[in-house]
Amino acid sequence: MTIIALTNQKGGVGKTTSCVNLAASLAANRQRVMLVDLDPQGNATMGCGVDKHALELSVYDILMHGARAEDVRQRAGEAGFDCLPANDDLTAAEVELVTATTKESRLRYALARVKHEYDYILIDCPPSLNMLTVNALVAADSVLIPVQCEYYALEGLSSLLGTVARVQKVMNPALEIEGLLRTMYDARNSLSNDVSMQLISHFGARVYSTLIPRNVRLAEAPSHGKPALFYDAGSRGAIAYLAAASEMLRRHGRNPVAAIPTPSSAPSD
């Protein structure tokens, strides 16, 4: 069982898109998966087909009121994985956790009850280094960092890596860098290629070989409450996330089982 926090303090890098679509792609590879939405915007929740406005219980209740994960989780429709949903109630948790006891470890304790039921737990973090993100890093085995292939791609990475190092030193010595996932890639753009090479130069083998393209289907899928794999399985975005999930499985010594469509069968989106 592996718990992976997807985080980058820079917003708009495809973090939530990556979390939802990797969860669906891992589930398509017959992995037992749960997505934890730790972002008060609740976008991952909506992208899973769960209505954030109709929640009786959410991650807020887990963190602040001791609700059990097994009572809060919901099924992400046809996508085949579970979701711990969130909404803007989590904004209050950002403040309340500052003065709470065991404030850094509440998510870890909550996941300890259910983690044996899953092969992967993916945590969608907010785009900031606050107490919610710290909870994710304390609970996680590793950190996957989505990085957009655009100008300022490296901005904030040193601060994030510094936070990871501090969590390793004080609260979670087993925490590792899972890797960097390049998103919003456009092969026709020389800047995308330059940034991609820059990331490889800085981080080497930590950079996933899979490139996530700019793709209209990836942008459209959340409004339908579906991962791209269930909105348009032949789209370049869906294919890319299946490939990323396969790469993740191989890195963890597991065999992918889902067939990845060939790019030639995909529409030119």
pTM for the structure as a whole? 0.94
Mean pLDDT within 117-133: 94
User: Three-class SS string for the chain?
Assistant: CEEEEECCCCCCCCHHHHHHHHHHHHHHCCCCEEEEECCCCCHHHHHCCCCHHHCCCCHHHHHHHCCCHHHHCEECHHHCCEEECCCCCHHHHHHHHHHCCCCCCHHHHHHHCCHHHCCEEEEECCCCCCHHHHHHHHHCCEEEEEEECCCCCCCCHHHHHHHHHHHHHHCCCCCEEEEEEEEEECCCCHHHHHHHHHHHHHHHHHEEEEEEECCHHHHHHHHHCCCHHHHCCCCHHHHHHHHHHHHHHHHCCCCCCCCCCCHHHCCCC
Mean pLDDT within 183-201: 88
In this predicted structure, what is the pLDDT of residue 268?
Answer: 45
pLDDT tens, residue by residue, 44-98:
999 999 999 999 999 999 999 999 999 999 999 889 999 999 999 999 998 899 8
In this predicted structure, what is the pLDDT of residue 262?
Answer: 66
Higher pLDDT pick, 70 / 264: 70
Domain residue limits at 23: 2-265
Q: Domain total for the chain?
A: 1
Predicted confidence (pLDDT) at residue 191 exceeds the cutoff of 90: no
In this predicted structure, what is the pLDDT of residue 152?
Answer: 80
CATH number of the domain to which 85 belongs? 3.40.50.300
